[in-house]
Amino acid sequence: GLEFLLRPGTPALHPSYGACSQALVLYTDNLPATRELLERRGLVFAGEDGHPDCPTFHDPDGHWFQLVDPGDFD
């Protein structure tokens, strides 16, 4: 499994995933289940990157991430 450790940090430097200069894309084979699990654990998604199946979020230090199931785009 994959584990995220969230620590207190500074506010995001960029207002959105699309405005940042670099980000990480995380792949999952079950986007709805992974999204639900992360939300239950306290993650707050901050929009999407042009498609509802591309939710984005940032960590406390302002690093942006996108969650994607690559099978959704075959």
Q: What is the pLDDT of residues 2-53, one digit of tens each?
A: 777 777 766 667 777 677 777 889 999 999 999 999 999 999 999 888 888 9
Please state whether beta strands 64-68 and 23-27 pair in parallel, antiparallel, or not at all (unpaired): parallel
- Residue 56: beta bridge partners? 66
Instruction: Say which amino acid occupies 24.
Output: L
CATH number of 23-73: 3.10.180.10
Distance between CA 20 and CA 40 in Å, rounded?
Answer: 26
The mean per-residue pLDDT over the stretch 49-74 comes to 88
User: pTM for this structure?
Assistant: 0.73
Cα 41 to chain centroid distance, Å, stands at 13
Q: Which pLDDT value is given to residue 25?
A: 92
